[in-house]
Each structure stands twice: as structure tokens, then as C-alpha cells.
Amino acid sequence: MTNLKPVMAVLAVATLGLAACEDRDHDGMANPKICADFKAAPSVTAAADPATPVEECTRRWAYSLAGSRDSAEAVADAVVAACAPALSKWNQASLGQAAPSGGEQALSLTTGQPTNPLAEHSAFAQGRALFYVVQARAGRCKAPPVKNGVPEGL
């Protein structure tokens, strides 16, 4: 029985050492230089690029929700849901634009698959949301200020 005490002590010290290494290694992986600056105004306006409100919404909500323990994909889905009003406005504005002539279906410039503007807007929002969640986690970035439960600037 007394032979177990030194073994247990060695195991405990090894476990603590590994935990310390894991924490140190994880801290060393953070890159705060990739974090967004929420004090700066967006460089592009919605008039110049209709995707700007969706971009800004996904960035602010993704940084706000990145601390969740859910998977990045689940958090990105929540971000897109929070940004549904901005995405809907963008989709509504694009409905008035002319469709491809001759009944041809447009091809995605990213995948080459048949698509339409609404599907591309949705893919854009989903992609940006996932990117910003991962970026915020990788940089251990601060969330934007919040007012009334919503990230400021929205």
C-alpha cells in the first residue's frame, strides 16, 4: 500500500506538468494581431457594396458569440440567424436586379455550381460568420461593446 503513494505522487506531478504545458502551448497560439478593431468605421459603405451590412453584422455577432463552447459551425449558424434581417434586406434589394438572359442559370464563381444571388448571399453570410468565429477564437479577441443585448454598431 505504501508503494502506491510515490507512484501516485509522480502521476499527480506529471499530470500537473502536462496541464501547465497544455495551457502554455495554447496561450502561445493566440494571435491578437488578427483581431478586428471595432472602434474604426467600416471602410466601405452599403451604397458602395450592398454586402457591407451583412459583413459588419456577422463580424460583430461572431466576435460576440465566439466565446461559446459550441462548435464554430454551430456558433456561425447562430450568427447568421442573428443577422437574418441584414441578409433579408440584401436579398430583397437583389430581387429587383435583372436575371441572367435566356433563362440560363448562373454559375457560382466559387464552386462553379448552378446558383442564384440569394443562395450566394446565404453562402457569403455563412462563410463570413464561420471565418469571424474562428478568427476571434484564434486571436482571443475582445467582443465589441454591447448595448441592450446587441453588439454596438448594428
Contact predicate 90/50, CB 8 Å: yes
Q: 114-115 and 106-107: which strand pairing? A: antiparallel
Full-model pTM: 0.75
Higher pLDDT, 24 or 66: 66
- Mean pLDDT, to the nearest integer, of 69-91? 97
- Mean pLDDT, to the nearest integer, of 104-122? 86
Planar angle of CA 111, 112, 116, nearest 5 degrees:
90
Name which of 47, 75, 46, 35 is nearest 154 in CA terms.
46
- What is the chain's mean pLDDT, rounded? 82
Contact predicate 119/4, CB 8 Å: no
